Structure 1
Amino acid sequence: MIFHVHLVPVILLAASSAIAAPIHGPQGDVCHKSYRNAGSQGRAPEYPVTGNKGAVVTEVDVCSNVGVDLLKKGGSAADAAIGASLCVGSLAAFHSGIGGGGFGLLRTADGTKRMFDFRETAPAASNETMFSNNTNPTASIVGGLAVAIPGELRAWEDLHRQYGKLSWKELFKPAIELNRNGFKIGNQLSVAINVKKYPFLCADPIWREVYCPNGTAKGEGEWIRNKRYAITLEKIAKGGPDMFYNGELARTTVAAVQARGGIMTVQDLIDYVLQWRKPNNITYAGKHRVTAGVAPSSGNVVLSALQTLDTFPAADFSQKTNLTAHRLVEAMKFGYGERTTFGDPDFVGNVTKLQASYLLPAYAKEKSAKILDNATHPVELYNPSNSEVLSDSGTSHISAVDSTGMAITLTTSVNTFWGSQIMTPDGFILDNTMDDFSSPLTKNYYGYVPTKANFIRPGKRPLSSMSPVIVENLKTGALELATGSAGGSRIITAVLQNVYRVLASDGQLDLQQSINAPRIHDQLQPNVTSLEWAEPSIPGFQGFDNATALSLKEKGHITIYVAPGQSTAQGVQRFRNGTFLAAAEIRQFSARGAAL
């Protein structure tokens, strides 16, 4: 059952990071105490999860502490988000970092909303058939051709220039210290290293330095460090992002990509530009303003589905309500059908107009009229273009709010685990985001044609599931939520459910309770509805019961059970009394929010 939520405490089962010298143990601490894992060595958390001066939440507790440390020093939400992101890109480098990109949503202190698009771009020498004509089936995933031009540092540069209060160097200090002196491997990183047994981690000399220094892959709780990356961060802290985009780091990066068959050039890095875009918004229940990013992110899909749900009577959160679950899934399916028409608006002329049309109240009513309470429709009704529904991967989500009301919620990624499997001699991992484009001349596994709006073009940004969201009180303009999720294609449905539960419950559920609840997912292709099962390793996590699965099956859904954790959400909620709640993902055992 999806909306019958049981309270679950934040779980910290794995020690994720700490500083020590020497590398082999915690004796002789050399760093500020808040750079430790909040749950390590029996220590109490450094910060509470509630406060009234600001909050930061990430998938790694120590990185949330880093963000709040920066707030405490007088930094803005922008400063905190940058510092926390650099930390996450070090302690969870397998899926985010300066070799990748993403999307963010900014709310200024006066309530102005802006979207910053730091999604990676296709190299100038790329073309739409570079993968469909390639004899190597993994060329878009592994190796130099898979690498798109990273955008993360250009985002941090502009955020800091416009909204930062602390010095640029100050934001880099925690990540530099962590990489130089060492940190403990947390649960998430341990899984990434050991579950799939990636051979390059111990075979390639540069990777081996970090993850297999003694020839054997390091495990959870063991100490590692990345001295090369510490030096790189010092260079960027001193010389600015131009060191990365037009300096010695750029030349080393390009050499590493080209050595693995890639086409990136230094000019590609020089030409990268951060895009500021105007986000879209809707009203919900006549009480809330919900703002989300536009294409090539998928925030518009969240808004459209939420608006469809708003046409129905309010969900009953006091009892099991499988009808609400059914309507939620149907709204998801219409949203994913709309997403097949999206692409980079700088290359696809009708995308902005299409997104606006999908948010018209009349269109929401048109969709809800098609949602039957006792049946589903053929997939073609939700996706009349018969285009493929794209699946993407990886990602990390971070939210930060300061005492002025400035809020930043962002999602960043190098795409699949370990990106392109290229680590540069400067110690950072490069993305494989070229895999997020569509390729012509092929149909996908389900027989659907590729999405033309997402074909490769030089300088173009591929479509993404990333969907950061900000919610405000419609009457007062006060911030209510700054949230988002990681999890590839499941990002959209995770964000939708968390925002929907909090808003539709009208105060009965807070964001932490919503994150703790089981999630449902349906993206049209494959034509299945997945429900999270009860997982004993997450104490108190209930999962869906068989009654919900049976009810959905009776209405025409093809239901399956999946393990929890395929989407991982974080966010900050602000209550009417001004208290902030840093709500962290219980499916990530190293995650914990921090508040001031």
Structure 2
Amino acid sequence: MLTKLKLPVLFFIFVITLTTTGGAQDGKVFSGKVSSASPEATKAGIAILEKGGNAIDAAIAVSLALGVSEPAGSGIAGQTVMLVHPGKGQKPFVIHGTTWSPRHLPAGITKEQLKSGRTATTVPSTPKVLDLAYRKFASGKVTWKELVQPAIEIATNGFTVGPFRQKAFHFYGDSLKPDKTASDIFVKEDGTAFQVGEIVKQHKVAKLLTRIATVGAEDFYSGEIARKIADDMQKNGGWITLEDLQNFPEPKIVSPLVGSYRGYKVFTLPPPFGGWVMLQILNVLEQSNQDGLSQDNDQRRLRLLDAMRIAHGTRQHDPVDSFTDYEQDISQKISKETAKLLLQGYRKETGGETTHFSVVDGTGMTVAVTQSIDSYFGAKVAHPEYGFLYNNYMQSFRLNDDNSPYVLKPFEMPYSSMSSTVVTHSDAPVLVLGSPGSARIISAVAQVVSHWVDVQQGVKHAVDAYRVHVVADNQAYVEGPTIGNGLLQGLAQKSYVLKRPKYGVSDSQYDPYFGGVHALGFQKGVWEGAADPRRDGLVGTAWQKVTASPQSTAKSGARPN
């Protein structure tokens, strides 16, 4: 059963959750749920679950299908990170899918070189992450080819443009025109943008995916695909070499950060990602006056803005010391004591694209996945033979040395705001979510978690609620068609400067600037899903015919030793 939700979304993120609901309906048993940013990707995940695949299987299929059907936000040449919770009583883990800067960088690099074109590209992680997830944690019931096939079909037959994707084509299409390959694929022949209901086909990407389905993802790093990427880079001034691809490290499996919020455990992504900032927002909310958080009103929005101002300010002025040796520093930053101290006194971002999706299968495993090519349409250039868009994660580095790990160096991880999150109660997952949107990811995830816990109106209300965000300590962004006098007075009293997004992709009500949360919540004994009305998302439920008592698949619930 598929449930269509209203509007489009911005960042590519996905979540997968496996759990039992107990019992069957009409001779069928619940085998999972998917919420993602495109109908095509959701249907791909549901099909895999109904074949007997687990949440990891479904996540791989959704990831690849999203890269084709929401190309402004993610793709095969981007970054993918998975937060996996195998189920009640088991230990969650992260498949740490960071990208890396090239090993050899020229002198005199400028900011413009890091924004677009092949010089803006880090070495992609997505194929490596999906390959590792399949080899170590898949069910064994679905082949690799079957997981890639839905994306091949979407690329070959095309996807139908929805309202959000149309806005992305309209407002960012001109930036693709200087690159012939990107323009030929994502701009119509007459130079205009694709409209809602029109079909976008990607035959070159279908060729790439067909090869990956046949010979495996490793070809992207050491085979024919790798050689053609290196050749394209050399011919067009890019910095990625065959050596970079061949020596790309196996993604690490690491522990997530863990915090708490009003009796719930909250698991999220470690550095270089933004999970610690999201946990600090929740800590500040928990340690401050509780009045005003249980109602979705102006007072709640002001409380959220204050907590965000503190946590985003910490990230700006007191960043983590290291992306690898961070345990002590992070432990202090996400402590309740630090939140109390920060409340005693308050001590930029760029536009980003990404995607998130959520899946639950019948065994209790949850997977939250965020993936991205960074900005809308990444580096704005595509591989001439294979048609995929390169990412532009190089723009996440700082050129000026400030003694932080954010500075551009050879073979370094880029700064990221990804904050895939799983919330548990009694050691079982109850909420799975994430978002796109650069630093707004952190704000969006914290708001939805707080709304779900504090307002208690369910996952759909939590995702649909209007959002706020803070930039540069005092610039407040407020969503919605109107702003009440109470909120305006509160903003003035607290010295906020009211701002409105200018990205041009909003409708009169919801704005993708504030993220694109695709979430699943366990409510009254069943999993419910929410697709963000700010995107073209869809929630789907998978059912299987009852043939015997449902059992976990061979690898379902697997976790690292």
Q: TM-score, normalised by structure 2?
A: 0.85
- Tell me what 1:580 maps to: 527
- Distance in 2 (CA, whole Å) between partners of 1:263 and 1:229 is 22
- Distance in 2 (CA, whole Å) between partners of 1:547 and 1:451 is 42
- Tell me what 2:104 maps to: 125
Contact 2:35 2:531 in 1 (8 A): yes
- Distance in 2 (CA, whole Å) between partners of 1:498 and 1:224 is 33
Q: Secondary structure at the match of 1:106?
A: strand
Q: Secondary structure at the match of 2:212?
A: helix
- Distance in 2 (CA, whole Å) between partners of 1:365 and 1:396 is 33
- Tell me what 1:175 maps to: 151
- Distance in 2 (CA, whole Å) between partners of 1:13 and 1:518 is 14
- Tell me what 2:396 maps to: 436
Contact 1:581 1:595 in 2 (8 A): no
Q: C-alpha displacement at 1:278, in angstroms?
A: 1.4
- Distance in 1 (CA, whole Å) between partners of 2:388 and 2:296 is 47
Equivalent position amino acid for 1:216 in 2: G
- Distance in 2 (CA, whole Å) between partners of 1:422 and 1:455 is 25
CA-to-aligned-CA distance 1:145-194 (integer Å, 9 cap, x gap): 11100000111011111211221111011111111122222223322222
Q: How does 1:149-164 map to 2 (within 5 A)?
A: 149-164=123-138
The correspondence for 1:498, drawn from 440, 448, 457, is 448
The correspondence for 2:422, drawn from 434, 459, 470, is 470
Distance 1:152 1:399, change over 3 A: same
Question: Does 2:275 align with 1:296?
Answer: no
Q: Secondary structure at the match of 1:282?
A: strand
Q: C-alpha displacement at 1:433, in angstroms?
A: 0.5
The correspondence for 2:42, drawn from 64, 68, 90, is 64
Contact 2:319 2:404 in 1 (8 A): no
Question: Does 2:61 align with 1:83?
Answer: yes
Structure 1, 268-277 or 408-417: larger mean CA deviation: 268-277
- Tell me what 2:112 maps to: 138
- Tell me what 1:591 maps to: 537
Q: Secondary structure at the match of 1:453?
A: coil
Equivalent position amino acid for 2:453 in 1: L
Q: C-alpha displacement at 1:114, in angstroms?
A: 0.7
- Distance in 2 (CA, whole Å) between partners of 1:545 and 1:462 is 39
Q: C-alpha displacement at 1:556, in angstroms?
A: 2.0
- Distance in 1 (CA, whole Å) between partners of 2:152 and 2:296 is 49
- Distance in 2 (CA, whole Å) between partners of 1:344 and 1:76 is 37
Question: Does 2:377 align with 1:418?
Answer: yes
Distance 1:281 1:436, change over 3 A: same
Q: Secondary structure at the match of 2:439?
A: helix
Equivalent position amino acid for 2:117 in 1: G
- Distance in 1 (CA, whole Å) between partners of 2:467 and 2:336 is 27
Greater relative contact order (Cα 8 A, min sep 6): structure 1 or 2? 2
Question: Does 2:340 align with 1:365?
Answer: yes
Question: Does 2:276 align with 1:267?
Answer: no
The correspondence for 1:95, drawn from 58, 61, 73, is 73
Q: C-alpha displacement at 1:403, in angstroms?
A: 1.2
Q: How does 1:364-383 map to 2 (within 5 A)?
A: 364-370=339-345, 377=346, 381=347
Q: C-alpha displacement at 1:313, in angstroms?
A: 4.3
CA-to-aligned-CA distance 1:299-358 (integer Å, 9 cap, x gap): 0111111012111343445657544433322221221133234469456x4x33211111
CA-to-aligned-CA distance 1:353-379 (integer Å, 9 cap, x gap): 211111222212222333xxxxxx5xx
- Tell me what 2:160 maps to: 184
- Distance in 2 (CA, whole Å) between partners of 1:236 and 1:220 is 30
Q: How does 1:214-363 map to 2 (within 5 A)?
A: 214-217=189-192, 218-273=194-249, 274-285=251-262, 287-316=263-292, 319=295, 322-340=298-316, 341-342=318-319, 345=322, 349=325, 351-363=326-338
Task: Compare the two structures and name the one with the higher strand fraction.
Answer: 2
CA-to-aligned-CA distance 1:30-67 (integer Å, 9 cap, x gap): xxxxxxxxxxxxxxxxxxxxx95321111112211111
The correspondence for 2:174, drawn from 198, 212, 222, is 198
Q: C-alpha displacement at 1:515, in angstroms?
A: 1.2
Equivalent position amino acid for 2:129 in 1: A
Contact 1:332 1:493 in 2 (8 A): yes
CA RMSD of aligned residues (A): 2.3
- Distance in 1 (CA, whole Å) between partners of 2:524 and 2:451 is 18
Q: C-alpha displacement at 1:545, in angstroms?
A: 2.4
Question: Does 2:497 align with 1:522?
Answer: no
Q: Secondary structure at the match of 1:289?
A: strand
Q: Secondary structure at the match of 2:112?
A: coil
Distance 1:391 1:205, change over 3 A: closer
The correspondence for 1:54, drawn from 17, 29, 32, is 32
Q: TM-score, normalised by structure 1?
A: 0.80
The number of residue pairs the alignment matches comes to 504
Contact 2:321 2:404 in 1 (8 A): no
